[in-house]
Amino acid sequence: MRHHNLRAILVNPPRWPASCATLQCVPLKCGATISGANIPKSRALLRQILVDCCLSTNDVGAMSTANPYCEALGIAPPRLEAVRNSADANYYAMLIVALLERGGPLTLEGAARRFEAAGILPANQALASLKRARPARPPIYRDGDLYALDPYDDEVDLWAFRLGLRPAKVLSPPTAPAVPGAATVVVGCSPCV
């Protein structure tokens, strides 16, 4: 039986094949299954099923534990507790970290609960702060009640660096190989005489 990463389905919704041969049976945490015969035709209905049944928990049964956001950035999944004291950690930045940590879409209520678990703020205050932070701006986008991250946006890479989630990308200038016996030429203005 082949299992699919349901978080990846939310990030990149599939175009269901007519036969659904590759999606034989996908178990959800709540005990239900999504199979070729009962796949919801509505993307919104599928999203709600996934959020209600399995995305609200960390243990998602037989699903893959891959984190597509962090894989795209080439970083290890961060922890919200590790960046909460960073000088650049505002509520918008911490929402980016919560999305990176999760590896998939998240509701603001889910992010607020995660903020509370990380010891940042109580959930009701965190929710109010997240709403004031205008969360639906690049690199975060909104799809219904879910907020997702565009891991290929340059802003995500910049935030990852600012929050210490990745090292600096240093480009060293190319050096010309030294030619033995060549004269050294200094380019510049010569002093007036």
Provide the residue range defining the domain that includes 88: 68-162
Mean pLDDT confidence for 102-129 = 94
Token readout for 59 is 């243990």
User: Is the distance from CB of 36 to CB of 19 less than 8 angstroms?
Assistant: yes
- For residue 60, being part of any structural domain is answered with no
Quick: pLDDT tens for 149-174: 999 999 999 999 999 999 888 776 77
Residue type, 119: G
Domain check: are 72 and 116 in the same one?
yes
Residue 11, pLDDT > 60, answer: no
pLDDT for 170? 78
Residue type, 149: L
User: What are residue 190's DSSP bridge partners?
Assistant: none
pLDDT band per the 50, 70, 90 thresholds, residue 119: very high
pLDDT for 41? 55
Residue 124, pLDDT > 90, answer: yes
Mean pLDDT confidence for 75-82 = 93
Domain check: are 158 and 122 in the same one?
yes
- For residue 185, being part of any structural domain is answered with no
- For residue 63, being part of any structural domain is answered with no
Please state, in angstroms and rounded to a whole number, the distance separating the CA atoms of residues 161 and 155: 10
- For residue 190, being part of any structural domain is answered with no
Quick: pLDDT tens for 173-186: 777 666 666 655 55
Mean pLDDT confidence for 72-97 = 92
